[in-house]
Structure 1
Amino acid sequence: MNVVGIVVEYNPFHNGHLFHLQESIKETDADIVIAVMSGNFLQRGEPAITSKWNRTKMALASGVDLVIELPYVFATQKAETFANGAISILNALKCNTLCFGSELGVIDPFVATNEFLLEKKQEYDQLIKKYVKTGVSYPTAMTLAFKELTEGKALLDLSLPNNILGFHYVKSIALQKAAITPHTIKRTSANYHDEDFSSPTIASATSIRKAIFSNESIHNITSYIPPCTVEGLNHYIQENSILHHWEEYFQLLKYTVMTMTLEELRFIYEMEEGLEYRMKKFIGESTNFKEFLEKVKTKRYTWTRLQRVCTHILTRTTKLQLKHMNSNETSPYIRLLGMSKSGQNYLRSIKKHVPLPIVSKLSSFKHPFIEVDIKASFTYNMIFQEPNRSYLIKQEFAQTPITV
């Protein structure tokens, strides 16, 4: 049986995602598709536009067989840690292939680049340190170090976001000695960070979210999303009168930063190099989230890094809580969000051979990482009015996997 794994956020699920899903099945001749999906907060430090349950329904309606939550401690991290968590879950679920989207669309350079950097690891690390000392952000230092190290060599372009993630998937597979064969599909029409529409049917999730929040409507994006997403977004708005973005959380962030001491802020995960002083300095005079980040930002901190720190402040995730996290960390459990009939049958057939506990209901499982997921869920739902807020908080414990 061919089982393909994909790593997704679906924020929201759009035509590009549908293309990737269908091509992944075709490329690998897959019988089963397993999606490891970020929960309510995402890798760029943003709240997902709708809940993980709503996005799970979109995925299942589009042909995914199993939807597994990527725990917060991986989902809101740099590419290396994000990839390690996702690959460890797919490996535990006996996936034999992984298919990811990339700007390149050819797998060999990903493998060659990983082998090259393993061989040149010491030199690469020294170059990164050299560039960090110049005051640039760590991701920029990595890009500059890679460019210097590989000058004149035909290797992967690691300045492009999907190539970067894809590289770390390939690297994680090698590090974990996972029995997974990587494949990649070239992104079409829209780039990851594109903020405007450039095609009649394919657009980036960034541009789709921008259009939704600019016009406070989904009517102008229906040509870029499949019917299941139109239905899912409409249903979510009808039920909750809101879609999630950072501005909705700004007052909560402002209260939290203003009422925490500098020492308390210093212990927040990813809070480094005196960043807490800048946050304290500018939070009181900022009237919205965008203004706040523009004031705090320096060339050392990327926008994404600052958003992630703000997310950790909201969830009060501390360095101590994540002290065991490192670049080789793997997921200690599998949180099942949804499944098709085929997915259910597949899970039943491998269950005895899965090395990790499969969690279908939070009330029956305890782990320090689950505690962080619970806090993230509480935070995510705090912007709702009652009684929706209490209902959705309770749902985190009571919800069983969605089945179709």
Structure 2
Amino acid sequence: MKAVGIVVEYNPFHNGHLYQVEQAKQATHADVVIAIMSASFLQRGEPAIVSKWFRTEMALSRGVDIVLELPYIYSTQKAETFANGAIAILKEVGVEYINFGSESGDVDSFNQLSDFMHEHKDEFDQLVKKHIKKGYSYPRATTAAFQDLHPASNMLSLTEPNNILGFHYIKAIRDQHASIKATTTLRKQAQYHDAFVTGHAIASATSIRKALMDKDINEISHVMPEETFSLLNEYQRSYQLLHTWEHYFNMLQYKILSTPLTELRSIYECEEGLEYRMKDLIKDSMSFTELMERFKTKRYTWTRLQRLLTHILTNTTKTEMEEACSTYKPPYIRLLGMTQNGRSYLNKTKSDREVPIITKFSKASGIQKQIEERVTNIYLSPLKKEHFIKEMKQEFSRSPIILNH
């Protein structure tokens, strides 16, 4: 059986994601689609609006055959580390292809760029350091360094977020010597940063999340599959919320105010005196949004600072991350859900895998398990007490979701 992998957040699963699943199958003639999905907290440093279990069911109901968890140690990272973690998992489960969405739509341009950047790696790294010393944010420094290299005018642009991730998937495949072929799907209609849902059937996840907070969900039902619409409604009915940073603000405020500066300094991504600025700003910020608007600078982007605050919320230290990410080979891979087709694939490829696929969190071990358990506790904390207790108990004993189609 031939498998294609996709790396996703599904926050939530919408018609654009459905289009990618269909295009990935069509482009590769794959028998199986494997999604590597971020769990509780996401790459932009924000909580997923609904749990990984609800998002897994959304995916399985519309063409994905296997959903595997992308651990926190990768899901809340800059593009390079995020991509390396995802590719390591896809490599272990034996996919022949990866498919990613892009603003380019031309995979040859990604391969051309990868060759160019590999050839100029040392020079590029030095230029990035030079621009960071000027006070540039890391994304701005990498863009400026890229422009300084004077690539050909027809070279792929690294200013678009999905192109950046795509480039890092290609780079990770090269660096890990993975025998994975890359394909890309051109993003249709909506772009990553689009802020509003229109009458089109495809909208960005950003605009959908904004609309979910501002409007009646029925007004945006046309941009998502029926199963997503139903599951979002079910989550809201059951738990009376869709997770946003504001649900965690009081906890974050307490955490920053009560933690000594030396301990804040030990948190992953806390650099260059940010702990002093946080301590000062958190005292009179009335909301998470207000804090972020005051916190961001030219040097530190909103996303970079959100990730730092996520690590403070979850008490994730530099030492822990260094240990957990010392190798990209995962200690285990967690299966969140599968179809019968997916189960058949996993059974047929079992003897080829070096890393165990676990079906219950109780079978996990090591530093990755310690971090995931703590992160899940924090993610579930806004739920009412009875729901929190139930969900935490289920987290250890719950088996993967299985859809029989």
Q: TM-score, normalised by structure 2?
A: 0.97
Aligned to 1:382: 381
User: Hey, what's the Cα distance between the residues in 1 that align with 2:169 and 2:111?
Assistant: 10
Aligned to 1:138: 138
Change (3 A) 1:126 1:199: farther
Q: Is the 8 Å Cα contact of residues 73 and 325 (structure 2) preserved in structure 1?
A: no
SS in 2 for 1:332: coil
The CA RMSD measured in Å over matched residues stands at 1.2
Q: Is the 8 Å Cα contact of residues 197 and 211 (structure 2) preserved in structure 1?
A: no
Deviations 1:351-387 (A, max 9, x none): 1211111111111221211211111100000001120
SS in 1 for 2:355: coil
Deviations 1:87-111 (A, max 9, x none): 1111111100111100000001111
Letter in structure 2 aligned against 1:24: A
Give how far 1:195 is off. Answer: 0.5
Give how far 1:252 is off. Answer: 1.0
Letter in structure 2 aligned against 1:91: K
Aligned to 2:166: 166
1:43-54 matches, cutoff 5 A: 43-54=43-54
User: Hey, what's the Cα distance between the residues in 2 that align with 1:304 and 1:74?
Assistant: 15
Letter in structure 1 aligned against 2:108: D
User: Hey, what's the Cα distance between the residues in 2 that align with 1:27 and 1:327?
Assistant: 35
1:97-116 matches, cutoff 5 A: 97-116=97-116
User: Hey, what's the Cα distance between the residues in 1 that align with 2:139 and 2:202?
Assistant: 28
Q: Is the 8 Å Cα contact of residues 80 and 327 (structure 1) preserved in structure 2?
A: no
The question of 1:10 aligning with 2:10 is answered: yes
Aligned to 1:288: 287
User: Hey, what's the Cα distance between the residues in 2 that align with 1:326 and 1:247?
Assistant: 29
Give how far 1:153 is off. Answer: 3.7
Q: Is the 8 Å Cα contact of residues 81 and 327 (structure 1) preserved in structure 2?
A: no
User: Hey, what's the Cα distance between the residues in 2 that align with 1:77 and 1:237?
Assistant: 28
Aligned to 1:85: 85
Aligned to 2:265: 266
Q: Any stretches of 5+ residues in structure 2 without a counterpart?
A: none
Q: Is the 8 Å Cα contact of residues 84 and 330 (structure 1) preserved in structure 2?
A: no
1:388-399 matches, cutoff 5 A: 388-399=387-398
Give how far 1:328 is off. Answer: 6.4
Aligned to 1:55: 55
Aligned to 1:25: 25
Worse overlay, 98-107 or 362-371: 362-371
Aligned to 1:154: 154
User: Hey, what's the Cα distance between the residues in 1 that align with 2:165 and 2:4?
Assistant: 17
User: Hey, what's the Cα distance between the residues in 2 that align with 1:351 and 1:192?
Assistant: 36
User: Hey, what's the Cα distance between the residues in 2 that align with 1:198 and 1:143?
Assistant: 31
Report sequence identity in percent.
50
Aligned to 1:278: 277
1:1-400 matches, cutoff 5 A: 1-215=1-215, 217-324=216-323, 329-400=328-399
User: Hey, what's the Cα distance between the residues in 2 that align with 1:325 and 1:198?
Assistant: 42
Give how far 1:51 is off. Answer: 0.2
Letter in structure 2 aligned against 1:135: G
Q: TM-score, normalised by structure 1?
A: 0.98
Change (3 A) 1:199 1:330: farther
SS in 2 for 1:231: helix
Give how far 1:325 is off. Answer: 5.4
User: Hey, what's the Cα distance between the residues in 1 that align with 2:270 and 2:91?
Assistant: 32
SS in 2 for 1:6: strand
Give how far 1:198 is off. Answer: 4.2
Aligned to 2:401: 402
User: Hey, what's the Cα distance between the residues in 1 that align with 2:58 and 2:196?
Assistant: 23
Q: Is the 8 Å Cα contact of residues 5 and 33 (structure 1) preserved in structure 2?
A: yes
Give how far 1:319 is off. Answer: 0.6
Q: Any stretches of 5+ residues in structure 1 without a counterpart?
A: none
Change (3 A) 1:105 1:209: same
User: Hey, what's the Cα distance between the residues in 2 that align with 1:311 and 1:204?
Assistant: 23
Q: Is the 8 Å Cα contact of residues 266 and 276 (structure 1) preserved in structure 2?
A: yes
Give how far 1:332 is off. Answer: 2.6
